[in-house]
Amino acid sequence: MKKVELTQKEKPNFLEMINNFLVIGSGAREHAIVNALYSSRLDSKIYCIGNSYNPGIMKLCFEYVVGDYNSSSFVVNYANKNKIDYAIIGPENPLEAGVSDALWEANIKVVGPKKELAKIETSKAFTRNLQVDYGIPGGPKFQSFTTLNGVAEYFEELNHEFVIKFDGLAGGKGVKVYGEHIETIPDALDYCKSIIDSGGSFLIEERFIGEEFSLMSFCDGKNIQHMPIVQDHKRAYENDSGPNTGGMGTYSDYNHSLPFLNDTDIESAKKINLLTMEALKNKTGMDYIGILYGGFMAVKNGVRLIEYNARFGDPEAMNVLSILKTDFIDICKRMVSASLDKIKIEFENKATVCKYSVPNGYPDNPVKNQIIDISEIKDKDKLFYASVNIEGDNLIETGSRTLAVISVAETIVDAEKSAEDNIKRVKGPVFHRSDIGTKELVDSRKSNMDKIRC
Ligand code: AMP
Ligand code: GLY
Protein backbone atom coordinates (compact mmCIF):
# COMPACT_ATOMS: atom_id res chain seq x y z
CA MET A 1 0.00 0.00 0.00
CA LYS A 2 1.34 3.41 -0.95
CA LYS A 3 0.16 6.32 1.08
CA VAL A 4 0.15 10.06 0.50
CA GLU A 5 -0.74 12.48 3.27
CA LEU A 6 -2.19 15.78 2.19
CA THR A 7 -3.81 18.66 3.94
CA GLN A 8 -7.53 19.07 3.60
CA LYS A 9 -8.95 22.58 3.65
CA GLU A 10 -9.17 23.55 7.32
CA LYS A 11 -12.66 24.52 8.27
CA PRO A 12 -13.89 26.13 11.50
CA ASN A 13 -14.23 23.52 14.26
CA PHE A 14 -12.39 21.09 12.04
CA LEU A 15 -11.65 18.75 14.90
CA GLU A 16 -15.12 18.90 16.37
CA MET A 17 -18.22 17.09 15.22
CA ILE A 18 -16.54 15.76 12.17
CA ASN A 19 -17.36 12.56 10.40
CA ASN A 20 -14.81 10.50 8.59
CA PHE A 21 -15.84 9.61 5.04
CA LEU A 22 -14.12 6.97 2.95
CA VAL A 23 -14.56 7.17 -0.81
CA ILE A 24 -13.68 4.03 -2.74
CA GLY A 25 -12.52 4.52 -6.31
CA SER A 26 -10.37 7.06 -8.10
CA GLY A 27 -12.02 7.93 -11.40
CA ALA A 28 -13.79 11.07 -12.51
CA ARG A 29 -17.02 9.87 -10.85
CA GLU A 30 -15.23 9.54 -7.51
CA HIS A 31 -13.59 12.93 -8.06
CA ALA A 32 -17.12 14.36 -8.42
CA ILE A 33 -18.24 12.52 -5.25
CA VAL A 34 -15.27 13.84 -3.26
CA ASN A 35 -15.99 17.32 -4.60
CA ALA A 36 -19.58 17.06 -3.37
CA LEU A 37 -18.45 15.93 0.08
CA TYR A 38 -15.86 18.69 0.23
CA SER A 39 -18.46 21.31 -0.72
CA SER A 40 -20.71 20.32 2.19
CA ARG A 41 -21.53 22.81 4.91
CA LEU A 42 -20.84 19.94 7.34
CA ASP A 43 -17.30 19.25 8.44
CA SER A 44 -15.83 15.97 7.37
CA LYS A 45 -12.49 14.31 6.97
CA ILE A 46 -12.28 12.66 3.57
CA TYR A 47 -10.23 9.53 2.95
CA CYS A 48 -9.93 7.78 -0.39
CA ILE A 49 -8.71 4.41 -1.61
CA GLY A 50 -7.88 4.56 -5.30
CA ASN A 51 -6.19 2.36 -7.86
CA SER A 52 -3.93 5.14 -9.14
CA TYR A 53 -2.98 8.67 -8.14
CA ASN A 54 -5.85 11.02 -8.99
CA PRO A 55 -4.46 14.52 -8.41
CA GLY A 56 -7.94 16.07 -8.23
CA ILE A 57 -9.06 13.80 -5.41
CA MET A 58 -5.71 14.02 -3.65
CA LYS A 59 -6.04 17.79 -3.38
CA LEU A 60 -9.37 17.51 -1.55
CA CYS A 61 -8.62 14.54 0.69
CA PHE A 62 -7.23 14.27 4.17
CA GLU A 63 -5.53 11.02 3.19
CA TYR A 64 -5.29 9.16 -0.11
CA VAL A 65 -4.01 5.62 -0.51
CA VAL A 66 -3.49 3.43 -3.52
CA GLY A 67 -4.49 -0.15 -2.82
CA ASP A 68 -6.79 -3.04 -3.70
CA TYR A 69 -10.22 -1.61 -3.09
CA ASN A 70 -11.87 -4.85 -4.22
CA SER A 71 -10.41 -6.59 -1.17
CA SER A 72 -12.91 -6.47 1.71
CA SER A 73 -10.23 -7.16 4.31
CA PHE A 74 -7.97 -4.41 3.01
CA VAL A 75 -10.81 -1.87 2.92
CA VAL A 76 -12.20 -2.83 6.35
CA ASN A 77 -8.74 -2.73 7.98
CA TYR A 78 -8.09 0.67 6.50
CA ALA A 79 -11.53 1.93 7.54
CA ASN A 80 -11.17 0.64 11.10
CA LYS A 81 -7.71 2.10 11.46
CA ASN A 82 -8.98 5.52 10.39
CA LYS A 83 -12.22 5.37 12.36
CA ILE A 84 -14.32 5.77 9.24
CA ASP A 85 -18.00 6.55 9.91
CA TYR A 86 -19.35 6.43 6.36
CA ALA A 87 -18.12 4.85 3.14
CA ILE A 88 -19.23 5.67 -0.39
CA ILE A 89 -18.48 3.04 -3.02
CA GLY A 90 -17.99 4.49 -6.50
CA PRO A 91 -17.31 1.58 -8.90
CA GLU A 92 -19.20 -1.68 -9.42
CA ASN A 93 -16.36 -4.14 -8.78
CA PRO A 94 -16.11 -3.60 -4.99
CA LEU A 95 -19.92 -3.91 -4.82
CA GLU A 96 -19.69 -7.26 -6.59
CA ALA A 97 -16.86 -8.32 -4.26
CA GLY A 98 -19.02 -7.70 -1.17
CA VAL A 99 -17.07 -4.72 0.19
CA SER A 100 -20.32 -3.07 1.28
CA ASP A 101 -21.36 -6.18 3.26
CA ALA A 102 -17.96 -6.30 5.00
CA LEU A 103 -18.07 -2.61 5.93
CA TRP A 104 -21.60 -2.86 7.38
CA GLU A 105 -20.43 -5.87 9.41
CA ALA A 106 -17.70 -3.64 10.81
CA ASN A 107 -20.38 -1.07 11.80
CA ILE A 108 -19.48 1.34 9.05
CA LYS A 109 -22.44 2.84 7.19
CA VAL A 110 -22.22 2.47 3.46
CA VAL A 111 -23.68 4.26 0.45
CA GLY A 112 -23.57 1.36 -2.00
CA PRO A 113 -25.66 -1.82 -1.93
CA LYS A 114 -24.62 -5.18 -0.53
CA LYS A 115 -23.42 -7.91 -2.90
CA GLU A 116 -26.78 -9.67 -3.26
CA LEU A 117 -28.52 -6.37 -4.08
CA ALA A 118 -25.75 -5.27 -6.45
CA LYS A 119 -26.76 -8.21 -8.66
CA ILE A 120 -29.15 -5.70 -10.17
CA GLU A 121 -25.99 -4.59 -12.04
CA THR A 122 -23.71 -7.60 -11.87
CA SER A 123 -26.20 -10.14 -13.30
CA LYS A 124 -28.36 -9.28 -16.27
CA ALA A 125 -30.40 -12.48 -15.74
CA PHE A 126 -31.09 -11.52 -12.09
CA THR A 127 -32.50 -8.17 -13.22
CA ARG A 128 -34.65 -9.54 -16.01
CA ASN A 129 -36.02 -12.30 -13.75
CA LEU A 130 -36.75 -9.74 -11.02
CA GLN A 131 -38.77 -7.72 -13.54
CA VAL A 132 -40.82 -10.79 -14.46
CA ASP A 133 -41.25 -12.14 -10.92
CA TYR A 134 -42.39 -8.80 -9.49
CA GLY A 135 -44.40 -7.56 -12.48
CA ILE A 136 -42.15 -4.56 -13.11
CA PRO A 137 -43.00 -3.08 -16.52
CA GLY A 138 -40.49 -2.19 -19.24
CA GLY A 139 -38.73 -5.54 -19.75
CA PRO A 140 -37.98 -7.23 -23.10
CA LYS A 141 -38.67 -10.78 -24.25
CA PHE A 142 -35.52 -12.65 -23.22
CA GLN A 143 -33.92 -16.03 -22.55
CA SER A 144 -30.75 -17.03 -20.68
CA PHE A 145 -28.27 -19.46 -22.25
CA THR A 146 -25.20 -21.42 -21.16
CA THR A 147 -24.88 -23.43 -24.40
CA LEU A 148 -25.67 -22.84 -28.06
CA ASN A 149 -28.77 -25.08 -27.80
CA GLY A 150 -31.77 -23.12 -29.02
CA VAL A 151 -29.83 -19.94 -29.70
CA ALA A 152 -30.35 -19.81 -33.48
CA GLU A 153 -34.04 -20.65 -32.98
CA TYR A 154 -34.40 -17.80 -30.50
CA PHE A 155 -32.81 -15.37 -33.00
CA GLU A 156 -35.60 -16.44 -35.40
CA GLU A 157 -38.29 -16.10 -32.75
CA LEU A 158 -37.19 -12.47 -32.21
CA ASN A 159 -37.27 -11.87 -35.99
CA HIS A 160 -33.55 -11.10 -35.86
CA GLU A 161 -34.25 -8.00 -33.73
CA PHE A 162 -32.03 -9.09 -30.84
CA VAL A 163 -29.24 -8.14 -28.46
CA ILE A 164 -26.68 -10.55 -26.94
CA LYS A 165 -25.58 -9.73 -23.40
CA PHE A 166 -22.72 -11.34 -21.54
CA ASP A 167 -24.16 -12.05 -18.07
CA GLY A 168 -21.60 -10.27 -15.91
CA LEU A 169 -19.59 -7.09 -15.53
CA ALA A 170 -17.85 -6.03 -18.73
CA GLY A 171 -17.44 -2.26 -18.37
CA GLY A 172 -20.27 -1.61 -20.84
CA LYS A 173 -18.54 -3.67 -23.51
CA GLY A 174 -20.25 -7.09 -23.16
CA VAL A 175 -23.38 -6.18 -25.13
CA LYS A 176 -23.68 -6.75 -28.87
CA VAL A 177 -26.66 -5.35 -30.72
CA TYR A 178 -27.50 -7.30 -33.88
CA GLY A 179 -27.39 -4.95 -36.86
CA GLU A 180 -25.07 -2.52 -35.04
CA HIS A 181 -22.12 -4.29 -33.44
CA ILE A 182 -22.69 -7.62 -35.19
CA GLU A 183 -23.82 -7.88 -38.80
CA THR A 184 -24.30 -11.60 -39.51
CA ILE A 185 -25.85 -14.60 -37.74
CA PRO A 186 -22.56 -16.60 -37.91
CA ASP A 187 -20.81 -13.67 -36.16
CA ALA A 188 -23.59 -13.57 -33.56
CA LEU A 189 -23.18 -17.30 -32.92
CA ASP A 190 -19.40 -16.85 -32.71
CA TYR A 191 -19.84 -14.19 -30.05
CA CYS A 192 -22.13 -16.52 -28.04
CA LYS A 193 -19.58 -19.31 -28.44
CA SER A 194 -16.75 -17.09 -27.20
CA ILE A 195 -18.73 -16.44 -24.01
CA ILE A 196 -19.45 -20.17 -23.54
CA ASP A 197 -15.78 -21.02 -24.18
CA SER A 198 -14.72 -18.64 -21.43
CA GLY A 199 -17.14 -20.35 -19.03
CA GLY A 200 -19.74 -17.60 -19.07
CA SER A 201 -23.47 -17.36 -19.70
CA PHE A 202 -25.46 -14.85 -21.72
CA LEU A 203 -28.90 -13.45 -22.40
CA ILE A 204 -30.54 -12.92 -25.72
CA GLU A 205 -33.18 -10.26 -25.57
CA GLU A 206 -35.52 -8.31 -27.77
CA ARG A 207 -33.91 -5.26 -29.35
CA PHE A 208 -35.62 -1.97 -28.55
CA ILE A 209 -35.61 0.97 -30.95
CA GLY A 210 -35.57 4.45 -29.48
CA GLU A 211 -33.54 6.99 -27.54
CA GLU A 212 -31.63 6.16 -24.38
CA PHE A 213 -31.58 8.07 -21.10
CA SER A 214 -30.29 7.56 -17.56
CA LEU A 215 -32.39 8.07 -14.45
CA MET A 216 -30.43 7.79 -11.20
CA SER A 217 -32.23 7.70 -7.86
CA PHE A 218 -31.08 8.06 -4.26
CA CYS A 219 -32.45 5.09 -2.28
CA ASP A 220 -32.63 4.21 1.41
CA GLY A 221 -34.43 0.89 0.91
CA LYS A 222 -37.85 2.38 1.63
CA ASN A 223 -37.78 5.86 0.13
CA ILE A 224 -36.52 7.05 -3.20
CA GLN A 225 -35.69 10.48 -4.65
CA HIS A 226 -34.76 10.99 -8.26
CA MET A 227 -31.99 12.97 -9.95
CA PRO A 228 -32.24 14.94 -13.20
CA ILE A 229 -32.35 12.80 -16.32
CA VAL A 230 -29.10 12.58 -18.31
CA GLN A 231 -28.22 11.21 -21.74
CA ASP A 232 -24.93 9.34 -22.11
CA HIS A 233 -23.12 8.55 -25.38
CA LYS A 234 -21.68 5.05 -25.31
CA ARG A 235 -20.18 4.89 -28.81
CA ALA A 236 -16.56 5.94 -29.17
CA TYR A 237 -16.83 8.11 -32.28
CA GLU A 238 -18.87 11.02 -33.65
CA ASN A 239 -22.46 10.36 -34.72
CA ASP A 240 -22.68 7.29 -32.48
CA SER A 241 -20.30 5.17 -34.53
CA GLY A 242 -17.53 2.85 -33.37
CA PRO A 243 -17.25 0.47 -30.44
CA ASN A 244 -19.09 0.81 -27.13
CA THR A 245 -17.22 2.54 -24.31
CA GLY A 246 -17.82 3.33 -20.64
CA GLY A 247 -19.43 6.60 -21.87
CA MET A 248 -17.88 9.44 -23.90
CA GLY A 249 -19.99 12.31 -22.61
CA THR A 250 -23.37 13.36 -21.30
CA TYR A 251 -25.84 16.21 -21.19
CA SER A 252 -28.81 17.22 -19.06
CA ASP A 253 -31.37 20.00 -19.51
CA TYR A 254 -32.45 22.92 -17.30
CA ASN A 255 -35.85 21.27 -16.58
CA HIS A 256 -34.27 17.94 -15.55
CA SER A 257 -35.95 16.23 -18.51
CA LEU A 258 -34.56 15.86 -22.04
CA PRO A 259 -35.90 17.44 -25.24
CA PHE A 260 -37.07 14.11 -26.66
CA LEU A 261 -38.93 12.92 -23.52
CA ASN A 262 -42.46 13.65 -22.33
CA ASP A 263 -43.78 13.70 -18.76
CA THR A 264 -45.27 10.22 -19.09
CA ASP A 265 -41.86 8.79 -20.04
CA ILE A 266 -40.31 10.31 -16.96
CA GLU A 267 -43.08 9.16 -14.64
CA SER A 268 -42.78 5.62 -16.08
CA ALA A 269 -39.03 5.53 -15.49
CA LYS A 270 -39.41 6.85 -11.93
CA LYS A 271 -42.06 4.21 -11.25
CA ILE A 272 -39.79 1.43 -12.58
CA ASN A 273 -36.95 2.55 -10.27
CA LEU A 274 -39.33 2.65 -7.30
CA LEU A 275 -40.80 -0.78 -8.07
CA THR A 276 -37.30 -2.19 -8.50
CA MET A 277 -36.13 -0.89 -5.12
CA GLU A 278 -39.23 -2.43 -3.52
CA ALA A 279 -38.85 -5.72 -5.39
CA LEU A 280 -35.23 -5.97 -4.22
CA LYS A 281 -36.43 -5.61 -0.63
CA ASN A 282 -39.12 -8.25 -1.14
CA LYS A 283 -36.76 -10.68 -2.84
CA THR A 284 -33.76 -10.35 -0.52
CA GLY A 285 -35.21 -8.93 2.70
CA MET A 286 -32.49 -6.26 2.54
CA ASP A 287 -32.69 -2.51 2.04
CA TYR A 288 -31.13 -1.17 -1.15
CA ILE A 289 -29.03 1.73 0.14
CA GLY A 290 -27.23 3.82 -2.44
CA ILE A 291 -27.74 4.92 -6.01
CA LEU A 292 -30.04 2.99 -8.33
CA TYR A 293 -29.22 3.91 -11.90
CA GLY A 294 -31.74 2.86 -14.54
CA GLY A 295 -30.58 2.87 -18.16
CA PHE A 296 -33.80 3.37 -20.12
CA MET A 297 -34.93 3.67 -23.70
CA ALA A 298 -37.90 5.76 -24.82
CA VAL A 299 -39.63 3.68 -27.51
CA LYS A 300 -42.72 4.06 -29.72
CA ASN A 301 -45.20 3.26 -26.97
CA GLY A 302 -43.48 4.10 -23.70
CA VAL A 303 -40.28 3.40 -21.81
CA ARG A 304 -38.16 0.24 -21.62
CA LEU A 305 -35.45 -0.76 -19.18
CA ILE A 306 -32.09 -1.49 -20.84
CA GLU A 307 -30.08 -2.23 -17.71
CA TYR A 308 -29.48 -1.29 -14.09
CA ASN A 309 -26.33 -0.06 -12.43
CA ALA A 310 -25.89 -0.13 -8.67
CA ARG A 311 -23.90 3.12 -8.42
CA PHE A 312 -23.56 6.62 -9.85
CA GLY A 313 -23.07 6.74 -13.61
CA ASP A 314 -19.78 7.86 -15.00
CA PRO A 315 -20.03 10.50 -16.57
CA GLU A 316 -23.60 11.08 -15.26
CA ALA A 317 -22.32 11.78 -11.72
CA MET A 318 -20.52 14.89 -12.98
CA ASN A 319 -23.73 16.27 -14.52
CA VAL A 320 -25.99 15.83 -11.53
CA LEU A 321 -23.56 16.53 -8.68
CA SER A 322 -22.50 19.78 -10.37
CA ILE A 323 -26.03 21.16 -9.98
CA LEU A 324 -26.96 19.53 -6.66
CA LYS A 325 -28.34 22.17 -4.27
CA THR A 326 -29.00 19.93 -1.27
CA ASP A 327 -26.05 19.14 0.97
CA PHE A 328 -24.53 15.87 -0.22
CA ILE A 329 -23.48 14.76 3.28
CA ASP A 330 -27.07 15.25 4.45
CA ILE A 331 -28.24 13.04 1.61
CA CYS A 332 -25.70 10.32 2.45
CA LYS A 333 -26.68 10.37 6.12
CA ARG A 334 -30.35 10.10 5.16
CA MET A 335 -29.71 7.19 2.81
CA VAL A 336 -27.93 5.11 5.43
CA SER A 337 -30.54 5.81 8.13
CA ALA A 338 -33.71 5.11 6.11
CA SER A 339 -34.84 8.72 6.42
CA LEU A 340 -34.66 10.05 2.86
CA ASP A 341 -38.30 11.06 3.26
CA LYS A 342 -37.19 13.71 5.77
CA ILE A 343 -35.46 15.89 3.16
CA LYS A 344 -36.33 17.28 -0.24
CA ILE A 345 -33.42 16.86 -2.62
CA GLU A 346 -33.08 19.76 -5.03
CA PHE A 347 -31.01 20.53 -8.12
CA GLU A 348 -30.41 23.82 -9.90
CA ASN A 349 -32.46 24.47 -13.02
CA LYS A 350 -29.38 24.51 -15.23
CA ALA A 351 -28.26 22.54 -18.26
CA THR A 352 -24.99 20.58 -18.12
CA VAL A 353 -22.62 19.04 -20.66
CA CYS A 354 -19.78 16.68 -19.75
CA LYS A 355 -17.16 15.53 -22.25
CA TYR A 356 -14.45 12.92 -21.83
CA SER A 357 -10.97 13.08 -23.31
CA VAL A 358 -9.76 9.52 -23.95
CA PRO A 359 -6.48 7.99 -25.18
CA ASN A 360 -6.01 7.52 -28.92
CA GLY A 361 -7.05 3.96 -29.75
CA TYR A 362 -9.56 3.78 -26.87
CA PRO A 363 -11.40 1.52 -26.13
CA ASP A 364 -9.91 -1.40 -28.12
CA ASN A 365 -6.25 -0.49 -28.34
CA PRO A 366 -5.52 2.59 -26.24
CA VAL A 367 -2.11 4.20 -26.01
CA LYS A 368 -0.79 4.04 -22.46
CA ASN A 369 1.66 5.88 -20.23
CA GLN A 370 1.74 8.99 -22.40
CA ILE A 371 2.17 12.50 -21.01
CA ILE A 372 -0.93 14.74 -21.02
CA ASP A 373 -0.63 18.52 -20.87
CA ILE A 374 -3.61 20.27 -19.29
CA SER A 375 -1.93 23.64 -18.72
CA GLU A 376 -4.20 25.38 -21.23
CA ILE A 377 -7.45 24.18 -19.67
CA LYS A 378 -9.59 27.01 -18.31
CA ASP A 379 -11.74 26.57 -15.20
CA LYS A 380 -9.64 23.82 -13.62
CA ASP A 381 -12.39 23.36 -11.03
CA LYS A 382 -14.60 22.02 -13.85
CA LEU A 383 -12.11 19.28 -14.60
CA PHE A 384 -12.41 15.72 -13.29
CA TYR A 385 -9.42 13.39 -13.50
CA ALA A 386 -10.07 9.75 -14.39
CA SER A 387 -7.58 7.15 -15.64
CA VAL A 388 -4.38 9.07 -14.90
CA ASN A 389 -1.31 8.75 -12.78
CA ILE A 390 1.38 11.12 -11.61
CA GLU A 391 5.02 10.45 -12.48
CA GLY A 392 7.32 13.16 -11.19
CA ASP A 393 5.79 16.40 -12.45
CA ASN A 394 3.99 14.69 -15.30
CA LEU A 395 0.38 13.72 -15.66
CA ILE A 396 0.19 10.34 -17.42
CA GLU A 397 -2.79 8.77 -19.14
CA THR A 398 -3.10 5.11 -18.16
CA GLY A 399 -5.30 3.69 -20.94
CA SER A 400 -8.93 4.13 -19.97
CA ARG A 401 -10.95 7.38 -20.10
CA THR A 402 -8.45 10.11 -19.18
CA LEU A 403 -10.30 13.13 -17.85
CA ALA A 404 -13.63 14.88 -18.17
CA VAL A 405 -14.77 18.50 -18.19
CA ILE A 406 -18.19 19.69 -17.13
CA SER A 407 -19.92 22.88 -18.07
CA VAL A 408 -23.09 24.29 -16.46
CA ALA A 409 -25.19 26.94 -18.27
CA GLU A 410 -28.74 28.06 -18.96
CA THR A 411 -29.03 25.91 -22.09
CA ILE A 412 -27.48 22.70 -23.39
CA VAL A 413 -26.10 24.60 -26.39
CA ASP A 414 -24.27 27.13 -24.17
CA ALA A 415 -22.96 24.41 -21.88
CA GLU A 416 -21.71 22.48 -24.91
CA LYS A 417 -19.77 25.45 -26.26
CA SER A 418 -17.77 25.96 -23.11
CA ALA A 419 -17.24 22.22 -22.47
CA GLU A 420 -15.95 21.87 -26.04
CA ASP A 421 -13.72 24.91 -25.71
CA ASN A 422 -12.20 23.38 -22.57
CA ILE A 423 -11.80 19.74 -23.61
CA LYS A 424 -10.00 20.62 -26.81
CA ARG A 425 -7.31 22.29 -24.73
CA VAL A 426 -6.11 18.90 -23.48
CA LYS A 427 -2.84 18.23 -25.31
CA GLY A 428 -1.45 14.77 -25.96
CA PRO A 429 -2.44 11.59 -27.80
CA VAL A 430 -6.14 11.94 -26.93
CA PHE A 431 -9.50 12.43 -28.63
CA HIS A 432 -13.03 13.39 -27.63
CA ARG A 433 -16.47 13.56 -29.22
CA SER A 434 -17.13 17.10 -30.37
CA ASP A 435 -20.77 16.31 -31.27
CA ILE A 436 -22.05 15.58 -27.74
CA GLY A 437 -24.50 18.29 -26.63
CA THR A 438 -24.45 20.22 -29.92
CA LYS A 439 -27.73 21.59 -31.27
CA GLU A 440 -27.44 19.28 -34.29
CA LEU A 441 -27.10 16.19 -32.14
CA VAL A 442 -29.84 17.11 -29.66
CA ASP A 443 -32.21 18.08 -32.52
CA SER A 444 -31.49 14.79 -34.26
CA ARG A 445 -32.41 12.88 -31.09
CA LYS A 446 -35.70 14.74 -30.94
CA SER A 447 -36.57 14.22 -34.61
CA ASN A 448 -35.61 10.54 -34.35
CA MET A 449 -37.99 10.16 -31.40
CA ASP A 450 -40.75 12.10 -33.22
CA LYS A 451 -40.37 9.71 -36.17
CA ILE A 452 -40.48 6.63 -33.93
CA ARG A 453 -43.60 7.90 -32.16
CA CYS A 454 -45.64 8.88 -35.20
P1 AMP B 1 -25.91 -2.32 -21.28
O2 AMP B 1 -24.52 -2.69 -20.89
O3 AMP B 1 -26.95 -3.36 -20.94
O4 AMP B 1 -26.27 -0.91 -20.90
O5 AMP B 1 -25.90 -2.21 -22.87
C6 AMP B 1 -25.00 -1.38 -23.57
C7 AMP B 1 -25.74 -0.72 -24.70
O8 AMP B 1 -26.31 -1.71 -25.56
C9 AMP B 1 -26.93 0.12 -24.26
O10 AMP B 1 -26.53 1.40 -23.88
C11 AMP B 1 -27.77 0.12 -25.51
O12 AMP B 1 -27.25 1.06 -26.45
C13 AMP B 1 -27.55 -1.25 -26.06
N14 AMP B 1 -28.64 -2.16 -25.62
C15 AMP B 1 -28.65 -2.97 -24.54
N16 AMP B 1 -29.81 -3.63 -24.45
C17 AMP B 1 -30.56 -3.27 -25.50
C18 AMP B 1 -31.87 -3.62 -26.00
N19 AMP B 1 -32.63 -4.54 -25.38
N20 AMP B 1 -32.29 -3.01 -27.12
C21 AMP B 1 -31.53 -2.11 -27.78
N22 AMP B 1 -30.29 -1.75 -27.38
C23 AMP B 1 -29.81 -2.31 -26.25
N1 GLY C 1 -22.47 5.95 -18.07
C2 GLY C 1 -22.47 4.55 -18.07
C3 GLY C 1 -22.12 3.93 -16.79
O4 GLY C 1 -21.80 4.59 -15.82
O5 GLY C 1 -22.15 2.72 -16.70
Q: What would the pLDDT profile of 310-341 be if each residue is shown by its tens digit?
A: 999 999 999 999 999 999 999 999 999 999 99
Q: Is residue 16 over pLDDT 60?
A: no
Are the C-beta atoms of residues 219 and 289 closer than 8 Å to each other?
Answer: yes
Q: How far is the centre of ligand 2, averaged over its atoms, from the C-alpha of 57 (Å)?
A: 20
Checking if the pLDDT of 5 tops 70, the result is no
The residues, ordered by sequence, that sit 6+ positions from 129 with a Cβ below 8 Å of its Cβ are none
Please give the number of the atom of ligand 1 that sits closest to the Cα of 206: 19
Closest residue by Cα to atom 4, ligand 1, is 307
> How confident is the model at residue 454, as a pLDDT?
87
Q: What confidence score (pLDDT) does residue 50 get?
A: 97
pLDDT of residue 347: 98
Q: Is 316 in the pocket of ligand 2 (CB under 6 A)?
A: yes
* Contact between residue 175 and residue 212 where contact means Cβ atoms under 8 Å apart: no
Centre of ligand 1 from the C-alpha of residue 157, in Å = 19
CA-nearest residue for atom 5, ligand 2, is 313
Instruction: Say if CB 288 and CB 222 are below 8 A apart.
Output: no
Q: Which of ligand 2's atoms lies nearest the C-alpha of 315?
A: 1
Q: Atom 2 in ligand 1: which residue has the minimum CA distance?
A: 172
* pLDDT, tens only, 386-403: 999 888 889 999 999 999
> What value does the mean pLDDT take over residues 258-268?
97
pLDDT of residue 17: 62
Residue 171's pLDDT is 67
- In terms of Cα–Cα distance, which of 279, 307, 310 is closest to 88? 310
| Identity of residue 130 | L
Cα 77 to averaged position of ligand 2 atoms, centre (Å): 29
- Find the 339 Cα to ligand 2 centroid distance in Å: 27
pLDDT of 407 reads 97
Percentage of residues in the chain having pLDDT higher than 70: 96
Q: How confident is the model at residue 168 (pLDDT cuts 50, 70, 90)?
A: confident
Query: Which residue ranges have their beta carbon within 6 Å of ligand 1?
Result: 140, 163, 165, 172, 175, 177, 205, 207-208, 212, 234, 244, 295, 306-307
Cα–Cα dist 396/391, whole Å: 7
pTM score: 0.94
